[in-house]
Structure 1
């Protein structure tokens, strides 16, 4: 049997990422790229093949792209599809932290109460209070949500990591997924629809726009999402959950009467009735038509009547005994002569063929 390291994560290979924004060059060469919020998802990967396939499925133009603070070029496509259909893997696929990143990597990672890298109380909450998330990303951590999903129409087995740094999206993602996980207990796959929703919020008289990533179970009815785990086949084809079941055709009833007529004994004919009774094809009390017919056939067999033709045995031809055996007659030697009768008359030569019998 195989074994696993107990202190290691068991995650599927990451084939690419699903992003909610991109960057464009800054007109000022002394400044960094300008971040842009996208109305559709942006797929990125180290594999050009994956991005080309994504462009065929979801629209958009394939282009080479280098992430910020990286020197390794990747490929990306800004999709044109309003939504993506994906599948959530089993377990809890959502990971959320408040994070701050710098030139040296992740500087702070907090679960909202404790900053985990230095095992200290939440720095942002202690310094700026409950509304710390309204401050600039340069001052505070950013609520970061990551969720791995399968894209069933893309090649290869692996997950695409959806990542968003929206405070409001963090609430919506956690609430929706927790409802599904409560129903399924994290067992089995779950088909979902994902899209980016633009929303507004008024704070201190000022209207602010923000994005929310929606991840909603893609099932025909709500009860399908809340009734427990679904099969892998249903996850790949959710519409099958609402299709009417195919009705079974009428059961084929054996021709018990024909079987009984082939029997040589009464017991064998009765056994046919017992099989029909076990299958539920006759009345256990024997009052139905089929039972009555089987009884008549058994009686005919007992009387020696031919069940196929209905012919009765003659007076000089006794019928079979209880075991269906007919008495045979033995002929003693000598009763019909010492020699058995010839099957054919003795051969004779034709007149013309008798030697010496021809005429000249």
Structure 2
């Protein structure tokens, strides 16, 4: 029988990085297409076959360990969000000696002090020059379904706009799936511009887009793995595609809260909900049951309230 060390945090192996830039010698360069790098040459060769480009040996700045990279021809890459929370976000400051600050916006995690940038520069600290204060740093782990091996690829950005949008997208997805199952997405490099102070600034932003499914499907609950891996033909509601009853529709058509609870019991018997009721579908059904309870307290169609008749003893 298999066993695990319960105090260890299990995680998928990182296979490589998805980058939006590269170095030309020691000069950093932006790329309009994805740059894929890894320690394993055959991973990068597979990426070049899928998205174009030429595989080359490459050594990152401040490192002596050679890797491989390919500057692809793809502005968008299909990926999968793995189970759990794939997004990590902090305000960070780095130097040649490593990470000097890592702050969640309120507490700097290394020193355990209140936000140092806020204390030093006030509420507009983010307007200070780069390097003087922390940068918004977002890292997201994704799976590339058509690449070799099982593991995750990490994309990282220091964009303020991406930090807001990634958090919003991932949190909406997690509200529907509860962090269970795979979710198909696309990672796309989108050119943008901003006009402020009489100046126009052009910059790229990495966008995380839910791919091939509707909001109804994404928020109903964990997706069937087959649908997540091949969402291209998804046109029907998730409940029909998954081959399971549309429990929400049944509950909405129920007359009483007891009928709604019968729908939940049916779902539990079919193995479509957590027996403890902690999954998103169970919570929605219980919310509908509570709503039916409130409706039962109101008057009927004739304006009369249900009441218990008690006969007085003679």
Same fold (TM over 0.5): yes
Distance 2:174 2:77 in 1: 21
1: distance between equivalents of 2:92 and 2:5? Answer: 28
Residue matched to 2:208: 215
Q: 2:235 aligns with which of 242, 252, 276?
A: 242
Partner Cα separation in structure 2 for residue 125 and residue 7 of structure 1: 36
Q: Which runs of 4+ in 1 moved over 3 A?
A: 1-8, 243-246
2: CA distance, partners of 1:229 / 1:218: 15
Aligned CA RMSD, in angstroms, stands at 1.9
| Residues in 1 aligned to 2:64 and 2:55: alpha-carbon distance in whole angstroms | 19
Q: CA deviation at 1:203?
A: 2.3
Within a 5 Å distance, the mapping from 1:16-165 to structure 2 comes to 16-25=16-25, 33-165=26-158
Contact persistence 1:133–1:167 (CA under 8 A): no
Structure of higher RCO (CA pairs closer than 8 Å, 6+ residues apart)? 2
User: Aligned residue pairs: how many?
Assistant: 239
Provide the secondary structure at the position in 2 that maps to 1:172. helix
Distance 2:91 2:149 in 1: 32
Which is richer in strand? 2
| Partners of 1:169 and 1:211 within 8 A in 2 | no
Partner of residue 12, structure 2? 12
Which stretches in structure 1 are left out of the alignment for 5+ residues?
26-32, 247-360
SS at match of 2:232: helix
Bigger Rg, structure 1 or 2: 1
> What's the offset of the Cα at 1:117?
0.5
Instruction: For 1:138-287, list aligned pairs within 5 A.
Output: 138-242=131-235
* Residues 6 and 208 (structure 1), Cα distance of their counterparts in 2 relative to 1, 3 Å cut: farther
2: CA distance, partners of 1:129 / 1:213: 29
Shift of 1:197: 0.9
Q: So what's the TM-score if we normalise by structure 1?
A: 0.63
TM-score (norm 2): 0.72
Give, in angstroms, the shift of residue 202 of structure 1: 2.0
